[in-house]
Structure 1
Amino acid sequence: MSAGRPFDGDAVALARHCIEDMKAEETVVIDLTGKTSIADTMIITSGRSNRHVGAIADSIIEAFKDAGIGPLRVEGFPACDWVLIDAGDLIVHVFRPEVRAFYNLEKMWGADRPKERLAG
């Protein structure tokens, strides 16, 4: 485990730590429990550019590998318009803002419902 990255067994907390550390923007955590069998939690966040999206995704992937979380399925490299990290019970989407607006996953998965929350 890399120094400065706390891990207590909670993949969501580890992902959020990386996201905050990398200065990602507009992070939303969506509880999928009871909505789908694909995962329990989805995190959606944005990077300012393709390079920023790639750096955020790399940070999360490395932290997960260091913590023994996996196997990971990753899509979206090298373009980095949108990188998907599937860690089983957790799915992380890292978007450029305009791509995020186009797909609008928050609306699809009901992030606007009161029980969902904006990470902060």
Structure 2
Amino acid sequence: MGPKNAIEEQILWTEQGKMWPYPVNNEYKLGVEEEVSFMDHIFLEPYLSKHNLPKTGPVAHFMELVCVGLSKNPFMTVSKKREHLDAFAQYFNPKQVEKINELHEIEQIAAAKS
């Protein structure tokens, strides 16, 4: 036999994990993320220091924008955010950074002439 009324149905759903228990807690069943600090989700720039990326220029500006975008994503775990940062850091190897800086200089010269 199923529940007799809506209250019993909600009790059953809570026991099955389909509803949050009262009082509602936004951190209910976070899993691995319970051990992670809020600061780790927001301040991602210090994580970039382990990579040999330039501190100024277009690559640094791009990586800053990536950090800001990831910090505003509440649905990703910290480990997933760090994987994204690692992938971008691997892409921007020294050879690639040099090529980007050359293209940026050419663009700056062209903008100054116009």
Structure 1 length normalisation: TM-score?
0.28
Q: Which has the higher strand share?
A: 1
Bigger relative CO (Cα 8 Å, ≥ 6 apart): 1
Q: Which has the higher helix share?
A: 2
Larger Rg computed on CA atoms: 2
